[in-house]
Structure 1
Amino acid sequence: MFQADIIEQCKQNNRKAQLQLYNQYCDGMYIVAKRFLKDASDAEDVVQEAFIKAFSKLHQYQAEVTFGAWLKRIVVNKSIDLLKSKKQQLVELDEVHLKVVETPQDDKWLVEDAITLNDVKQAISNLPDKYQYVVMLYLIEGYDHQEISEILSISEVASRTQLSRGKAKLQDLLTLKQNGTRY
């Protein structure tokens, strides 16, 4: 059955089609939620809530993006909402003091060969939340600054600044790790 057919059946409350769509996307969406939420049960809850919302709002899905991308956006927003509700508030930066100059080296995300993927994940998890969310959305989830600004309710300038500062902090953490010091 084609994706569009399944979605159309889901719009008509076909439970079998909903289960099929759920089974197709649940593992991937759990991984996305787990990147934001450390607790497995919180990630599971977010995925369930995201599917409930997706199925209830499916009539709004216009197929401008893939269903997976649309659902992923819901999962990311639900994850951030949960973090906010747990008082892990994002800190808004005062835009008056922000001025970021983009340079070609800003696009380099290179680390030493000795640094493992687990080292990078650990370093990202040790970033302050305001940097961690932007770094994860940009580097791992692949969102651009306009999308990040919409998701986090910050300006594009704040997104760029937080990414730049987060990247610098991440590189510092990874340099410390390489030199034998723990984060």
Structure 2
Amino acid sequence: MANYFTQFSTTLQVNKEERAMLEQALGFDWDDDDGEQLPTLLQTLFLDRSAAVGAIFPDPECLSFELDYVSLEDDGISLGGADSPNLEAIANLIQLICQETLSSGALGFEWATTCDKLRPDAFSGGWCVVSLQEIRWETTSERLAAAMAEADFQLLLRDQC
């Protein structure tokens, strides 16, 4: 049996208010639905916990970011996870909270997909770009397939000449 892992680490350059909101959201126990109030800073974005959960988490059965560390920096916040962090929820949270930063440019991060066994399909990764309008994803597997298709097309054109 092989164990697969998704790992990521990034520092997001955000303003102090966004950094504080990210810290509160990442430290909040989203799984505890016993009526716990949203942290004060998050109440400005969401009417209630249910609205926040729906906006952030793609899977209502997995209400965790699965991060191993969150570190406040002078000019932002560092995040990292070594055992399958919830990348989609992290991207959603960035888009919801970091509106001011995103108004002057996108934020992004990369991840690696690894395995404890040498398997041909087990090593990959990708990137995510978060903007005000969209969240874009691409894996290294997709990029490789596109590059190979382009190379095959170039060979086909060369052979037709």
**TM-score when scaled to structure 2?**
0.25
Structure having the higher strand fraction is: 2
**TM-score when scaled to structure 1?**
0.23
Q: Which has the higher contact order (CA 8 A, sep 6+)?
A: 2
Structure having the higher helix fraction is: 1
